[in-house]
């Protein structure tokens, strides 16, 4: 489990790349993108199959990101996570959040071996939009069972 300090540190930086932003407005990758945008983040969406998403220039890969993108949020299928971690490390990105269910043991190992400040096993929406009803309830239940980061 990630510490609350690691989560807050990650979210305190407003320049954020997102690997796995979907063009489909019903997919989680798009919903997270929208929520972060509402919260005032300067976003760098990454999708190899899109030039723009929601009027934002889309990057084809981590290697194309500008140097101002110092944090990376990964919300891709597991099969892509390991390569994205490798690309981020090569780019010098050391602050990475892997959305729960996108992590693999190999990706976590690579991140750890390379000194990445890593958050994983957590849903970012639980921490950026905790007042939305579903996530508010989920936070409450996790709190009762001592499963929230502290």
Query: How confident is the model over 37-68, as pLDDT tens digits?
Result: 999 999 999 999 999 999 999 999 999 999 99
User: Is the CB of residue 85 less than 8 Å from the CB of residue 102?
Assistant: no
Query: How confident is the model over 77-114, as pLDDT tens digits?
Result: 999 999 999 999 999 999 999 999 999 999 999 999 99
> DSSP code of 104?
-
**Is the model's pLDDT at 149 over the cut of 70?**
no
For residue 20, give both structure tokens: 């796995």
pTM, rounded to two decimals: 0.86
CATH architecture observed for domain 4-124? 3-Layer(aba) Sandwich (3.40)
Q: Please report, for the chain, the start and end positions of each structural domain, with discontinuous segments joined by +.
A: 4-124
Q: What is the mean pLDDT of the chain?
A: 88
Distances, alpha carbon 117 to alpha carbons 9, 10, 49, 111, 114, in Å: 10, 9, 28, 8, 9
């Amino acid at each position: 489990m990630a510490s609350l300090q690691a989560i807050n540190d990650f979210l305190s930086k407003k320049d954020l790349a997102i690997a796995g932003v979907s063009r489909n407005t019903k997919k989680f990758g798009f919903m997270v993108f929208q929520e972060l945008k509402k919260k005032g983040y300067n976003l760098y969406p990454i999708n190899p199959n899109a030039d723009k998403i929601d009027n934002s220039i889309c990057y084809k890969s981590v290697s194309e990101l500008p140097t101002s993108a110092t944090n990376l949020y990964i919300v891709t299928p597991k099969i892509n996570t390991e390569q994205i971690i490798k690309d981020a490390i090569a780019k010098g990105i050391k602050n990475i959040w892997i959305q729960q269910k996108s992590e693999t043991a190999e990706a976590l190992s690579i991140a750890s071996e390379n000194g990445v400040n890593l958050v994983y096993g957590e849903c970012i929406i639980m921490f950026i939009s905790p007042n939305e009803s579903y996530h508010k309830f989920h936070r409450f239940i996790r709190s009762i069972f001592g499963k929230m980061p502290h």
